[in-house]
Structure 1
Amino acid sequence: MLNLTTPALLFPAISLLLLAYTNRYLALASIIRNLYDDYQQTPSDKLVRQIGNLRRRIALIKWMQSMGVGSLFLCVVAMFQIYTGWPQAAQITFGTSLLLLISSLGMSLLELRMSTDALNILLSDLVAAERARDKSPR
């Protein structure tokens, strides 16, 4: 049987998760602004591709945040339903809240992979530049 404390346990976790998502969003927004300034000074296809990748990541973070907020909202609704004596509705609402949280976490994992892939591209450029430097006559 679901009681008031069960949905309430998710409050701190979801709140911290939303804070982490917001921090990622702000970091990406700063990177995009810097890349945009770089592009204004020296247009480059590579910068356009990086900005495109960041645009997709920002969209994912928007969905991650939306699902996290939806999860928190449904937790509150489930608590209200428990409080007013609707336990079956509360179980369905809380279950839906958990599904939204799982979706949000899955999107977070996907965004993390995209971030790692972008970093690996930059690292491969550094490795290629290092190899070219080592092969050049001194």
Structure 2
Amino acid sequence: MELSLGTPAMLFPAIALLLLAYTNRFLALAGLIRSLKTQYVESPNPNLIGQIQNIRKRIMQVRNMQACGIMAFLLCVVSMWLVYISQELLAEYIFGFSLFLLMMSLYISFREIQISVHALEIELSDLEELMKGK
């Protein structure tokens, strides 16, 4: 395989957009945490504790997604630099590892979405119970 400067550079926009999406998820979760804290202070509810624990898992997932994405971005830059200084073989290995980290980031994102969907299913079942009670 021959690696040129353009190959790792093609990932820059994709990784940048992923990091932006991950940051938006993080900010949404941070807002939700603040809202749940306010609700709990006003009216302690054991259901909120479960939600907060779920969000804690999701925050850790987003942190890991961001870490893998940032490392993938950094290694893309390193591989470009290695191509520039004519270290093609090392550049190929570093680029391959950056692709692996990008795949890990996407997998963690997939898992975080599954956790989020599960939390929403619990909320919907609670809502259905309230609707049946009325």
Separation in 2, partners of 1:130, 1:29? 29
Structure 1 residue 129 displacement after superposition: 1.6
What do residues 55-89 of structure 1 show as CA deviations (whole Å, max 9, x unaligned)?
11001100100000000000000000000000100
Separation in 1, partners of 2:104, 2:34? 29
Amino acid in structure 2 at the alignment position of 1:64:
M
1:6-45 equivalent positions in 2, closer than 5 A: 6-45=7-46
Displaced runs of 4 or more, over 6 A = none
Partner of 2:49: 48
Separation in 1, partners of 2:133, 2:56? 32
What's the TM-score once normalised by structure 1's chain length? 0.95
Separation in 1, partners of 2:112, 2:97? 23
Match of 1:43, SS?
coil
User: Which has the higher Rg, Structure 1 or Structure 2?
Assistant: 1
What do residues 27-51 of structure 1 show as CA deviations (whole Å, max 9, x unaligned)?
0000000000100111111101101
Number of aligned residue pairs: 133
What is the CA RMSD across the aligned residues, in angstroms? 0.6
Does residue 114 in structure 1 map to residue 111 in structure 2? no
Larger mean CA deviation between 123-132 and 49-58 belongs to 123-132
Partner of 1:91: 92
Partner of 1:80: 81
Partner of 1:71: 72
Structure 1 residue 132 displacement after superposition: 2.2
Structure 2 gaps of 5+ residues are none
Partner of 1:104: 105
Separation in 2, partners of 1:34, 1:127? 22
Structure 1 residue 24 displacement after superposition: 0.3
Amino acid in structure 2 at the alignment position of 1:53:
N
